[in-house]
Structure 1
């Protein structure tokens, strides 16, 4: 096992990988609660979605762990499940069965693009400066989510965002967890982020801020209401609205995953010389999870940016993913205790992880304006729009434009021009 996952080569151990896997699971476990809540508003059975969510995460995470040896989790995407429910099903009036069939088709197209190595080629031709900008942008985005989840910042109609109610008990819990985590990390405590989550959870239960579950073991809900329904609705996808939805799923999922993989492999030290080893296998795992998830009954999964929490603890190989998948499997039987993993508990981990991911910002060539402008807008647009894909779009449009103005168009890979045009069309007709 040590040889298969290359423990020696990546300077890791069973203890380090296990701790990383547990940390990532605790950071992403909320999806088991939130995904059914969101998709049920589209008319789907919440119990079936819970089981489908867990199984999709298990399959996708094991695939990326064994095929690519990455310490990463794959789980249903928060952005895409919201798009599925509120934009597609509620906003456009498309039945969830038909929308899920669209997700399935998008997953199959992704698999074909991955097998043809088209996705891999696109990721590898992204300029190095933009890759560092993408990782940094996701770092700011993750920290923004953590601050919002902890109640430390809140929406404001006049200033867009402002400081939250710092006297709120749940916000104080998040702040306490943040301070404890910072202290442990600075003191060099191995696994400080993981221990921060556990200690914060215990404190929350002691002071009644987190409900102590009345039962521990629960039955696994049936997937009968959702399993396989996509196959009986494939003939309904050939309408302009549904085809537009499929295209949107393709664009957003493609670049959300690309951005996350670039950021996470860079953080884990896997990316070398502007190239990511076995990226094709990782993309195949991600796309396969998309098709399988649709069959089981959940919206599009993606590479989870919360994996950065486990990487920060020391996750370096696919054994971390094996631990994450095992935790999801256990969660199927112990669903009641998932209620103790609240957003306030995981907020400190996300805030701190953002710091680790932003460290690469210094590697962007800020002395050259033609590099600085697209890199900066790539970074800033991710937290401001809550979308990795839109941040990437700004970078992919402006980077070639800036170099063309300098008559350096020969330095740009032809695929970058194609992506530039696609994102312009994306803004013109979809966003």
Structure 2
């Protein structure tokens, strides 16, 4: 166990195992949730359940061994919804091409992990805009969740309206949202997956959804989606803004998550054992996992904030992540159980994750007019246009325009200028 330097980190195998199991419980929801979301793109849900489990196992263990950090990884919430509802259903892009976009964004991320580019990007884009991106994605996935639940429906007069609350399926979704909020507020360990199963049990008992005839089986094949990505079709000037959106969002999501998790135990602090080096290696593992995920047939992989639960439990090294990955092997055999979970037991989790991301707006400086306008467009247009790319584009253009009008040229660095130009390009080349 000297690979993980347990003694130097003042931890033990038992403590790391306990922390790994805690992380596993808190993020196990990603298996049925991601599979349900991506299946809306026309991909087989059985293959997606297996692929999500496999990439979680691979990426989490890879990070544990490569970076020696207690950070678990899986398919990122937000970009998986954008993959399905923004690209495939919204832009009518085949899911194979969308996987090609994920692959290219991952390659860019991986290549730039070995340069100072990520530092340049972070210095170029104001912190408040990065917070707005997180909040905007939060509003987007919450809107998706509410729509898929049937709580928000199309209305000819007002564009959107309230769904039929007499519908048993919608009521199951409302009950699921109630469970998610209550369990989360009470800080119950594994609140999301507990809420999903509690809602499913009610749906099975009331006959709203069919009861599973079995709970375990051999792992499903991922052949229907394995290596089905279409990289050639993704090589398009019109799709460049989308590729950049996936890259930037993954980078900010990862750095934000790692900052939050790291602060719990000063894992990435410059005075910690190999602190800066661990951050760099974790980002490298993240990027490599995104590339691997696109090959397996899932969208962007990223670090999970739920890793903080394992850190709180005492996890300090990569052994925690290795244990988490090994525990996820169990999910490979839970296909019948996951398949029987009704969609409206899943989407409330999407809404709650969106709420947590939206909370980033509380840290924004609203005294700056350029920030206010950019944040507004990012947060409001992501859900209303069903496009993270469009929200980002309007935000960057608005920020650039206000700075230009006010002659605040000191804020207009090369990074902002390039991103504003690409954003403008996204509306010209369509």
User: TM-score when scaled to structure 2?
Assistant: 0.76
| Aligned pair partner of 1:22 in 21, 25, 47 | 25
The 1-side partners of 2:52 and 2:221 are apart by: 12
* Alignment counterpart, residue 41 of structure 2, candidates 38, 41, 50: 38
Q: Report how far residue 321 of structure 1 moved.
A: 5.8
1:132-281 paired onto structure 2 within 5 Å: 132-187=131-186, 189=188, 191-223=190-222, 237=232, 242-244=235-237, 247=240, 250-261=243-254, 264-265=257-258, 268=261, 270=263, 280-281=280-281
| Corresponding residue number in structure 1 for 2:333 | 333
- Tell me what 1:349 maps to: 349
* Deviation of the 1:50 alpha carbon: 5.6
Question: How far apart are the structure 1 equivalents of 2:195 and 2:49?
Answer: 27
Q: Match for residue 79 of structure 1? A: 82
SS at match of 1:30: helix
- Report 1:309-320 matches (<5 A): 310=306
Alpha-carbon distance between aligned partners in 2 of 1:299 and 1:52, rounded to the nearest angstrom: 7
Provide the C-alpha distance between the structure 2 equivalents of 1:117 and 1:177, rounded to a whole number of angstroms.
Answer: 44
Query: Per-residue displacement from partner, 1:142-201 (whole Å, max 9, x unpaired)?
Result: 322332233222222332221111121122122223334434445565554443233222
SS in 2 for 1:73: strand
Cα distance, 1:373 vs. partner? 0.9
| C-alpha deviation, 1:261, in angstroms | 3.2
1:205–1:31 Cα change, 3 Å: same
How much has 1:140 moved relative to structure 2? Answer: 2.1
**SS of aligned partner of 1:29:** helix
Cα distance between partner residues in 2 of 1:48 and 1:368: 48
> How far is the alpha carbon of 1:227 from its aligned partner?
5.1
* Residues 21/74 of structure 1: CA separation in 2 closer, same or farther (3 Å cut): same
Q: CA deviation at 1:421?
A: 0.9
Q: How many residues are aligned here?
A: 408
Structure 2's unaligned 5+ residue stretches are: none
The CA deviation at 1:58 is: 3.0
**For each residue in 1:348-389, what CA deviation from the matched residue of structure 2 results, as whole angstroms up to 9, or x when unmatched?**
333333333333322212123222111111111222223333
Structure 1 residues 329, 202: CA separation in 2 closer, same or farther (over 3 Å shift)?
same
What displacement does 1:129 show?
1.5
Shift, 1:53, TM fit: 4.5
Structure 1 residues 339 and 426, CA gap change in structure 2 (3 angstroms): same
Change in CA separation of 1:223 and 1:6 when aligned onto 2, cut-off 3 Å: same
Shift of residue 329, structure 1, vs aligned partner? 3.0
Number of the residue aligned with 2:373: 373
CA RMSD of aligned residues (A): 4.2
What are structure 1's unaligned runs of at least 5 residues?
Answer: none
